[in-house]
Structure 1
Amino acid sequence: MLFWFGLQSLGPESCFMPSIRSVGVKQSMDHTAIELTGSDRPGLLSEVSAVLRHLKCNVVNAEVWTHNTRAAAVMQVTDEETETAITDPERLSRIKSLLCNVLKGSNKSSLAKTVVSHSVTHTERRLHQMMFADRDYERTGGDVLDDRQRPNVDVVNWHDKDYSVVTIRCKDRPKLLFDTVCTLTDMDYVVFHANIDTLGPDSYQEYYIRHLDGSPVKSDAERQRVTQCLEAAIERRVSEGLKLELCTTDRVGLLSDVTRIFRENSLTVTRAEVTTKAGKAVNTFYVRDASGYPVDVKTIDSIRQVLGQTILKVKGNPDHSKPVSQESPTRFLFGGLFKSKSFVNFSLVRSYS
C-alpha cells in the first residue's frame, strides 16, 4: 500500500528537558503528572513506585520507556486520600527530591535536576522529547537491537531542489509514522513531501526535509545524527521481552506491589503502560530476566500464583525474551491519522508541541 502526501510548515515549537536525570511536575484538574528521566537499571520502576506509595501518591496512569541504558516515564498521580491532584508546594518538592535520589541510585556523584511545567502535552510525544533530550540515540553498546532488527536509515542531499531525502526501511508496526515524524519535528526539520509504502510486514518511508532556515542537511556529522535519532525513535517501541497483561480492580499501591513481585523474581521491566478507568486497572508490562537470560516458565507461573491466575495473562512465548509480534500494521499505522482532514498540515503534531 502506497501513500504520498505533502506537508507544509511542520513547526517544532517543542520544549525539551535538558537534564540527564530529572523529575518534572505539572498540574491538571484531576491529577499531577510527574516526568522522570535517568539511567535504566533492574528494579527501577519498582523503586519509583515504592517511593510514590510511601508518599501516599496513587498512580492512576503511567507510561514507561527504556532504550539504550536510558529510562523515561510520565506518571499521573493523585493524593491517596482525596483522589485529587497534589498541589501543596512543599509536598511536591519532597516528591521530586526523593524521586531524584532514586534516579541517581548508588551513583551519588551524578547531578539531578527538577523541572516544573504547567503545559499540557501528549504522553508519547513527551516521552520522545525526554529521551531525545537525554541523548538515548548515542550508542554505548547497551540496550540496542541487533543488526537484523535495526532500522535502515539513509540521508542524502538532493542538491537540485535543496532538499535532504531521508529513507527508512524497517518492520512496520503501530505508530511508526507518528514516531518518525515527531522526531524530525523535534529536531527542527520541516517535512515538505513524503512517500509511505507498506508491503506485508515491512515499511518504507521517504521524507523530503529542510531546516527551518530552508537549508538541507549541512555536514556528515549532522547526517549521522539524523540517522541515529531516527533509529532510536523507531527502536523505543520495539519492546524486547515477554508481554504480561494485568487486569484487576484498582487499589492504592497496586503498581508498587506488582513491580516488587517482578523484582523479587529477578525480572526487570523494559516498558510499561498503566491505565485505570472506572475502578479497573489495565496494565501492560514487557519484562525480561534481569541477568539477560530468557524468562523462565517457572518464574512466570510463580508470579501468577501470587497475583492470581486469571488477572495476569501471558502474551507470547515465555521461553524466549524477544520482541512481541505486531498485528495489522497498516491498519494501526494509518487508521487514526488519515481520518483527520488536518493531516496534510500535521496539526496532530503541532497541537502536542
Structure 2
Amino acid sequence: MVDGSWMQGKKITDSKTIDFIEKALGPKGQSKEGAKSWPGKQVGMHSIGDHTAIELIGRDRPGLLSEISAVIASLHINVVAAEVWTHNRRIACVLYVNDATSRSADAPNRLSLMEEQLNHILRGCEDDDKVARTSFSMGFTHMDRRLHQMLFADRDYECAVVTTDVSYPPSFRPQITIEHCEEKGYSIVSVRCKDRAKLMFDIVCTLTDMQYVVFHATISSDAPYASQEYFIRHMDGCTLDTEGEKERVIKCIEAAIQRRVSEGVSLELCAKDRVGLLSEVTRILRENGLAVCRAGVSTIGEKAVNVFYVRDASGNPVDTKIIEALRREIGESMMINVKKMPGGNAKAPENHRGWAKTGFFFGNWLERFLN
C-alpha cells in the first residue's frame, strides 16, 4: 500500500512511496560508464539492447532527415529506434543503430566516416560546431529527455519564428506568466495552453535544465486547455526577481511546449524491419514534397513501427492527392495509417467539458531524477 499523505499536501517522506514512484517512472541509478553526455548533465536510462546512439543537431531544412538516413543506410547500419524533433528551424535527433547482425556499430573507422558525412550534411558550407554537430554514445538515454537537453543547450528558444499557421491560432498559443509569492518565498509560473500528453513532463524538464526546483504544482485540465502552476525557486534558493530572468524562463517554457506540438497529418507505418527502411520511407516523403516536423521510430521484434508528422514543404496544407499517392507507393510494401492531427480551432464537445485538477509536491527529488 502506498502512503497517500501527499494528497493532503504533506511532503513525501515514506521510503516505500518514493520507491514506488521511482519504479513507475523507470529505471534509475544504472551505470552510465562510457556514455557521452553534455557537461554537467546526466541522462535517464533507456535500454533497447546492443546499439550505438547517435545524437545530431543542426539547421533544419526539407529533406534533411532523408539525407541523414541515406548516409546511415549507405554504411549498412540499421536504425532500430529514433526520435526526431524540429523547432525554430533547428532539428535534433537521437538514433539507436546497429549493424545487420544486431551488434553495436562502434568500429572506429565506421564511426569516423559516419561522423564526417553527417556533419557535412548538417553543416553545409559552414564548418562550425555551433551550426551543427554529431556525437556518439555507447550508453543509454531517455530520448525525449535528451532532446530537451540538446535543444535547450542549442538555445532554440532564442530564435523564435513567427508562424502564420491557421491550425495554431493565438487562442492556443501558450500563455505564461510569472508572479512572486512573497508570503511563501516562491516564484509562481502559470501556464495555460492547449492540453496534450507529456505537457507536464516537457515543462518540468526545462525548469530542471534551467536549474530551478519545483516545490509544488497544480495541474488542471479543461479540454482542450490545460492550466498549470509551478511554485519554484532557483537551486540556490532565490526566486525570479529580474524581468530579464522572467522573460528567459517564459521563452524556454514556450519552446519546451512547442517542440512536441504536431498539427497537420501523421503517417503511421508498419513493415518488416530491414537496413535502409527509414531511408526509403523518408526519400518517398521528400519526393512527394513533404517535410517531416517530428518522427518516432521503434522496432518490435521483426517489425518496424514508424510515425511521421508531416507538412507541405511550402507551408501549405497537405494535399489529399499527395496522401493518396503515398498510400499507393508505400502501401505496396508496408501498412500505412493516415491521421489528421486535431486542428487548433477544434472545439471540445460540451459533454466532455469539466475540470480535472491534481496537485503535486515535488521538493527537489523529481529534479534529481530527471537529471
- Using structure 1 for the length normalisation, give the TM-score: 0.82
2:222 pairs, out of 199, 214, 225, with: 199
1:83 aligns to 2:102 (yes or no): yes
**Equivalent of 1:67 in 87, 90, 95:** 87
Aligned residues of 1:68 and 1:143 also touching (Cα < 8 A): no
TM-aligned CA deviation for residue 146 of structure 1: 4.8
Residues 96, 142 of structure 1: CA spacing in aligned structure 2 closer, same or farther, 3 A cutoff?
farther
Aligned partners of 1:352, 1:79: CA distance in 2, in Å?
A: 31
Q: Is the counterpart of residue 350 in structure 1 residue 364 in structure 2?
A: no
Query: Are residue 153 (structure 1) and residue 176 (structure 2) matched?
Result: yes
Q: Which structure has the bigger radius of gyration? A: 2
Q: Cα distance 1:115–1:181, how it changes in 2: closer, same or farther (>3 A)?
A: same
Matched position secondary structure for 1:120: coil
Which of 118-127 and 35-44 deviates more? 118-127
Aligned partners of 2:304 and 2:289: how far apart in 1?
A: 24
- Give 2:25's aligned residue: none
Greater alpha carbon shift after TM alignment, 193-202 vs 203-212? 193-202
Q: Distance in 2 between matches of 1:16 and 1:196?
A: 31
Q: Secondary structure at the match of 1:270?
A: strand
SS of 2:260 mapped into structure 1: coil
Structure 2: how far apart are the matches of 1:325 and 1:33? Answer: 38
Contact 2:52 2:136 (C-alpha < 8 Å) held by counterparts: no
Structure 1 distance, partners of 2:241, 2:128, is 34
The within-5 A match list for 1:17-36 is: 17=38, 30-36=50-56
Measure how far apart 1:27 and its partner are. Answer: 10
Letter in 1 for 2:84: V
Matches within 5 A, 1:22-61: 30-61=50-81
Q: What 5-or-longer segments of structure 1 have no aligned partner?
A: 9-14, 19-25
Pair 1:301-2:324 in alignment: yes
* Residue in structure 1 matched with residue 188 of structure 2 by the alignment: 165
Distance 1:346 1:245, change over 3 A: farther
Question: Partner of 1:21 in structure 2?
Answer: none
- d(CA) in 2 for partners of 1:135, 1:74: 18
Amino acid at match of 1:123: M
Write the distance in 2 (CA, Å) between the matches of 1:102 and 1:325.
39
Task: Look up the equivalent residue of 2:193 and give its one-letter code.
Answer: C
Cα drift, residue 90 of structure 1: 2.1
Matched with 1:255 is 278
Offset, 1:199: 2.0
Choose which of 199, 205, 208 in structure 2 pairs with 1:182.
205
Distance 2:149 2:174 in 1: 20
Query: What's the CA shift for 1:29?
Result: 5.3
- SS of 1:271's partner is strand
- Whole-angstrom distance in 1 between the partners of 2:232 and 2:8: 15
Q: How far apart, CA to CA, are the structure 1 residues paired with 2:335 and 2:78? A: 20
Letter in 1 for 2:126: K
SS in structure 2 of the partner of residue 231 of structure 1: helix
Structure 1 contact 271–285 (Cα < 8 Å) conserved: yes
1:265·1:299 contact (CA, 8 Å) conserved in 2? yes
Q: In 2, are the aligned partners of 1:39 and 1:71 still within 8 Å (CA)? A: yes
Which letter maps to 2:190? T
Q: How far is the alpha carbon of 1:334 from its aligned partner?
A: 10
Taking the TM superposition and a 5 Å limit, the aligned residue runs for 1:187-266 are 187-266=210-289
Residue of structure 2 aligned with 1:104, choices 123, 131, 134: 123
Percent same amino acid among aligned pairs? 50
Q: Give the distance between the partners of 1:70 and 1:183, measured in 2 at CA.
A: 17
Measured in 2, the distance between the counterparts of 1:4 and 1:259 equals 51
Verify the 8 A CA contact 1:266 1:290 in the aligned structure 2: yes
**Corresponding residue pairs, total:** 327
Note closer, same or farther for the CA distance 1:291–1:322 as it changes in structure 2 (3 Å cut).
farther
Q: Which runs of 5+ in 2 are unaligned?
A: 1-6, 13-35, 40-45
In the alignment, which residue of structure 1 is the partner of 2:42?
A: none
Q: 2: distance between equivalents of 1:334 and 1:104?
A: 46
